[in-house]
A and B are shown apart, each in its own frame.
Chain A
């Protein structure tokens, strides 16, 4: 097997049953595995809600480590729509020329740096730096903030012995409190200030609501982007001919990005809580129990995708759900796609080949399943063209 590959652990369960079960802190989850069922369930917010107790729709559950409701993530329509109407324009800014140019400079500088460095860990020395620096553009905040975020390491919420560490999550909450307070004293053009000035349904946002929005841009956009970037590097390391192909056929870069995002599905699943007794693909779902929308499984559904286990760079029809589906589709997707585009454009311009020296995979344990989401460590050597 090649090192970049992320084999689908769900094939058997998806084809035979359509659902699977996993326990998580005594709040079990019915995992929904087929593309059509995932989409239908995501669309049906009345029966499968996001606005349950804060942290409950996340797997592993975070109910024991936080009380702050994440917005718009843990809010249902119609209130959800009012928050999205406020946030959507800001999160479309990555389409602007200025934003693209600045992102281009960041990625150029980073690639130039790693090209001179010999062996580096792509997770810490590339993906984390890229993700943190790019986030300063999304928040429109000072570029030096990135150094603070990089200093937190890849595991903002985790400590060595405890995957759900309340104290470590506290670090991020305290930081955000401080930033909101600073912005209310001295508003600048950053996202904190925009939120402080904004109204939703005729009311100013509370401190707690602003915190709930900001925490999500940190949490939702961190591991996901780091995994997308690191996995992409591992793919090109083992497929240098793909770098050449994209250089010769720049028209397919957009498709290639969607395909890499489909294949790697950086967010494996997200939960919902049933508001009433229901069924999903003939499986009974009890009121107040959890289901998960398993994006990673849906993306390998052979009834929709031809050769789902292969990365086909110019895949034309690619109805993947890596960014979710329906109301809660990823607010950061424009930013994430722009990062991927600038990354691919920079790699094809500057990089001839990448060697993988050694690595440690990041494997998620989901009940009976083990899924590789990325790498804890990927030591690589970049070589110039």
Chain B
């Protein structure tokens, strides 16, 4: 349904294809380095932090209040940060580029 590219901390792009579920699950299934998804996607661990390409941010949209509160205390967070367990895979995300955040 959508091709999504993850750029890891070592600057290696990995493009994977997802049908459904969350972007975090897609990354974990494909062993994308730096996306651990420890809490399984309930917004409790912040091990699924990505930076969305600036010009694509409107595709994924703003984080919820709860997610923003988690990101606020993440030293690597910026205005284009998201916890990707909170992003559902949809056809609109095709071509999305996400940079895996530092630990």
A43 to B73, CA, bound (A): 7
B94, chain A: closest CB distance, angstroms: 25
Partner of B69, one of A257, A319, A320: A319
- Interface status of B16 (Cβ within 8 A of chain A): no
List residues of A whose CB falls within 8 A of some B CB. Answer: 36, 39-40, 43, 254-255, 257-258, 304, 315-321, 323, 325-326, 329, 333-334, 337
B6, chain A: closest CB distance, angstroms: 19
- Interface status of B92 (Cβ within 8 A of chain A): no
| Chain B residues within an 8 Å CB radius of A320 | 42, 44
- Interface status of B64 (Cβ within 8 A of chain A): yes
A283, chain B: closest CB distance, angstroms: 20
B40, A255: Cβ atoms under 8 Å?
Answer: yes
| Chain B residues within an 8 Å CB radius of A36 | 69
B38, A318: Cβ atoms under 8 Å?
Answer: no
A258 to B41, CA, bound (A): 10
A40 to B41, CA, bound (A): 22
A84, chain B: closest CB distance, angstroms: 10
| Chain A residue, CB-CB nearest to B42 | A318
- Interface status of B39 (Cβ within 8 A of chain A): yes
With A258-B44, A319-B43, A320-B44 in contact, is A304–B66 under 8 Å at CB?
yes
A40 to B39, CA, bound (A): 20
A317, B40: Cβ atoms under 8 Å?
Answer: no
With A304-B66, A334-B38 in contact, is A319–B73 under 8 Å at CB?
no
| Chain A residues within an 8 Å CB radius of B70 | 319
The interface size of chain B toward A, counting residues with CB under 8 Å, comes to: 13
Instruction: Give 5 A-B pairs besides A304-B66, A334-B38 with Cβ atoms closer than 8 angstroms.
Output: A40-B73, A257-B40, A258-B40, A318-B43, A325-B73
| Chain A residues within an 8 Å CB radius of B41 | 254-255
A43 to B72, CA, bound (A): 11
B36-71, CB < 8 A from A: 38-45, 64, 66, 69-70
A317, B64: Cβ atoms under 8 Å?
Answer: yes
A18 to B85, CA, bound (A): 30
| Chain B residues within an 8 Å CB radius of A319 | 42-44, 66, 69-70
| Chain B residues within an 8 Å CB radius of A337 | 38, 40
A306, chain B: closest CB distance, angstroms: 11
| Chain A residues within an 8 Å CB radius of B38 | 333-334, 337
A262, chain B: closest CB distance, angstroms: 8
A328 to B41, CA, bound (A): 20
A39 to B43, CA, bound (A): 14
B66, A39: Cβ atoms under 8 Å?
Answer: no
Selected A-B contacts with CB under 8 Å, 23 pairs = A36-B69, A39-B69, A40-B73, A43-B73, A254-B40, A254-B41, A255-B42, A257-B40, A258-B44, A315-B42, A316-B42, A317-B42, A317-B43, A318-B44, A319-B42, A319-B44, A319-B66, A319-B70, A321-B44, A326-B73, A329-B45, A333-B38, A337-B38
| Chain B residues within an 8 Å CB radius of A316 | 42
A374, chain B: closest CB distance, angstroms: 21
List of 4 A-B pairs having minimum Cβ-Cβ separation, nearest first: A254-B40, A318-B42, A43-B73, A258-B42
A318 to B67, CA, bound (A): 10
A24 to B51, CA, bound (A): 44
A325 to B39, CA, bound (A): 12
B43, chain A: closest CB distance, angstroms: 5
With A255-B40, A258-B40, A333-B38 in contact, is A317–B73 under 8 Å at CB?
no
B20, chain A: closest CB distance, angstroms: 11
A315 to B44, CA, bound (A): 12
| Chain B residues within an 8 Å CB radius of A255 | 40-42
Query: Which interface residue of B38, B44, B45, B69 has the most chain A CB atoms within 10 A?
Result: B44
B4, chain A: closest CB distance, angstroms: 21
| Chain B residue, CB-CB nearest to A322 | B44
B85-99 to A contact mask, C-beta < 8 Å, 1/0: 000000000000000
